[in-house]
Amino acid sequence: MNFLAHIYLSFDNPEITLGNFFADHIRGNKYKHFPEKIQKGILLHREIDTFTDSHHIAKQSSKRLHKNYSHYSRVIVDIFYDHFLAKNWQDYSKVPLEEFVENFYDLLEDNYTILPLATQRMMPYMITDNWLLSYANLDGISKVLAGMNRRTKNKSKMNFAILDLEEHYSAFENEFTLFFEELITFSKQKFNSLCEE
């Protein structure tokens, strides 16, 4: 899953949110120096990714893109799914998306010194361009995909995936809705078990 989903699936726990958000910038077991709950957020992130990568619905979404985007398909699906989460946010949270996002940016700024270097570098762009809020519309997703394509030195052609999203919009949205319901249940169980340890 992409940024917004990982933040949402931290269930309003600030330290778990931080770990769950920046876990991709931590390799292997190089997380042991972080506070305990941030470590648990990193572990939760990894559990969510494993569940997502092996789930038949996420695989179905990915398969639709595989011919054109090969191994980048999973990354594209993560971005598509964040779009549907942002677009249908009122179905998942009583807190308006704008407020949720602002609270998260405040959390990052308050904890800047403990963020990994890669996260510190990314943060100003994320906040200035308001990535999380922009996921709710197709223009925002198009910019994200274009940015990802640039990072692959134009090898991935991910910028064209916006056309696939538009063409198969209902199918992707239906898959997201079914999958995310299961992911929430799974993540809540993992969150509870990690917090009990």
Predicted local distance difference test score (pLDDT) of residue 162: 97
Predicted local distance difference test score (pLDDT) of residue 197: 72
* pLDDT tens for each residue of 107-160: 999 999 999 999 999 999 999 999 999 999 999 999 999 999 999 999 999 999
What pTM value is reported for the model? 0.95
Question: What is the extent of the structural domain holding 133?
Answer: 3-196
* pLDDT tens for each residue of 51-75: 999 999 999 999 999 999 999 999 9
Q: Is the dihedral of CA 47, 103, 165, 72 positive or negative?
A: negative
User: What gap in Å lies between CA 46 and CA 161, rounded to an integer?
Assistant: 26
CA 15: distance to chain centroid? 17
Report how many domains make up the chain: 1
Measured at the CA of 152, the angle between CA 111 and CA 141, to 5 degrees, comes to: 65
Contact 160, 124 (CB under 8 A): no
